Homo-oligomer: A and B are copies of this chain.
Amino acid sequence: MLKPLGDRVVIELIQTEEKTASGIVLPDTAKEKPQEGKVIAVGPGRVLDSGERVTPEVKVGDRIIFSKYAGTEVKYEGKEYLILRESDILAVIG
């Protein structure tokens, strides 16, 4: 299990199927870099200068949209993950 530190979040990429107007599914190379993910693990949150820890706004299982190219790719037990800072997450799909 990956336990992220501070305000970090471990996510799994979600490949979103992209169809053209005519309904043709585009092969992988024609698609944009993915921007969608599922939260796998959440850190305890960042610590403020006041000493307080900020409770993260996301939780395990959330589907999220994040900034393209943000985060670090990590391979763990044969699977690919992305470790982001919570501030790289734009929105939760709810």
Chain A residues with a Cβ under 8 A of chain B: 1-6, 8, 10, 35, 41, 44, 47-52, 54, 57-58, 65, 67-68, 72, 74, 76, 83, 86-87, 89-94
Contact = CB atoms under 8 A, between A and B. Distances in A.
9 contacts: A1-B94, A2-B65, A3-B93, A5-B92, A8-B90, A49-B50, A51-B52, A65-B74, A67-B72
Give the most central of A5, A72, A89: most B CB within 10 Å. A5
Contacts of A87: 6
9 A-B pairs with the lowest CB-CB distances in the bound complex, closest first: A51-B52, A49-B49, A2-B91, A83-B90, A3-B92, A4-B91, A3-B94, A5-B57, A50-B51
A35 B74 contact: yes
A90 B4 contact: yes
